[in-house]
Amino acid sequence: MAVEVISLGCRMNLSESERLRALLAAEPDLVVVNSCAVTAEAVRQTRQAIRRARKARPAARLIVTGCAAEVERDMLAAMPEVDGLIANTAKLDPRAWNVPALRTPGTATHTRAFVTVQNGCDHACTFCVIPQGRGASRSLSVAEVVREIGHHLAAGAKEVVLSGVDLTSWGTDLPGAPRLGQLVEAVLAACPSLQRLRLSSVDGIEIDPLLFELIAGEARVMPHLHLSLQHGDDLILKRMKRRHLRGDAVALVAALKARRPDIAIGADLIAGFPTEDDGAHAANLSIIAELDVVHGHVFPYSARPGTPATRMPQNPPALIKARAAELRAAVAARRARWLARQLGRPLAVLAERDGTGHAPNFARVALPPATSAGTIVNHTPTHIAEGLLA
């Protein structure tokens, strides 16, 4: 049987899993679990995926890579279902798998191509194990990024998503320390056939002036910004060792909306961080309305091994769960009102293979059955069905 790559966690893993499928295409009867360790729940899901994969393919060679293969290495290695582990930092190196190098980075398997331009992280947020799992920040050069995007465009991709563990730190390790805005500008200039460029999660405090101008005014950069926000309370942000305060995020979004009113804001938010009291939770809830967050990723705080946050006073699990539910409900209510405002408006929708597509603002749209995947179609939604514009 052909290689199977099971991907858990972030967009980075999705992008890297596509590369792994291409790299290992000639390997028979191999299952790769590309794991996640961002929360205890992610590790539980990784273990569950490993057991399911072994049950489905008992004779296959089962290899685990990804962040959990670093952070939870001993635990995963002890699982009887696992035949071996590949270090996360080596998983795209053909030498780690004893296979030939790819001639190209592979072709897009989706109408949207994820291009990893940066990996690793040099920051030390008190709750996060990702630096343990992915190492120091490192960047692809402009030439490497342009070359990879060219391959995806040749394969038919209409949209490219620039992704990274800490995307806005792209370039800090390159000669001259260029900023992300320079990369985006270079990609747009070098790839005139690229119709849509999107950014994955960004650290708002690290958005440089050129990047701000491109997000605010460049039509080919999609009006959708997902912030690595994490919280809406200043004291909690300081205890998280984040580099921004609430006011920084509010000012950024206000400035962007003044220039580009249709921009849709997404955010990562953590519920129940250690020492979070009722007032801090209220601030976390209120930032959703103040920023008009319509794409929200809410994470219940999860103590991760070796992180400073584990030594802080913890909130009870039931309280964390309840606060996460409140945050999700607030985002859902905000999103429902936002979706209602899209009705009757013509949207340029990039059709996916599952019969849906995404508008420039990342609203998901159900498309007519005859719509060809990979095309950008004009669609005016008339109603909302199961959370989708239709």
DSSP state of 202: B
Domain boundaries, the chain: 4-97, 112-342, 347-389
CB 322 within 8 A of CB 358: no
pLDDT at 321: 97
The 3-state DSSP class for residue 388 equals: strand
Domain 112-342 coded CATH 3.40.50.300: no
DSSP codes of every residue in 13-53: HHHHHHHHHHHTTT-SSEEEEEE--SSHHHHHHHHHHHHHH
The sign one gets for the Cα dihedral 270, 274, 277, 279 is negative
What is the model's pLDDT at position 175?
97
Q: How high is the pLDDT of residue 227?
A: 98
Q: What's the pLDDT score for residue 284?
A: 98
Cα(285)–Cα(307) distance, integer angstroms: 25
Please answer whether residues 121 and 130 qualify as being in contact, where contact means their C-beta atoms are separated by less than 8 angstroms: yes
Consecutive sets of 10 residues in the chain, 390 residues long: mean pLDDT of each? 89 84 90 92 94 95 94 93 92 90 57 89 93 89 96 92 95 97 98 97 97 98 98 98 98 98 98 98 98 97 93 97 98 97 97 93 94 94 95
Span 4-97: which CATH code? Answer: 3.40.50.12160
Residues ≥6 apart with Cβ < 8 Å to 15: 114, 115, 116, 163
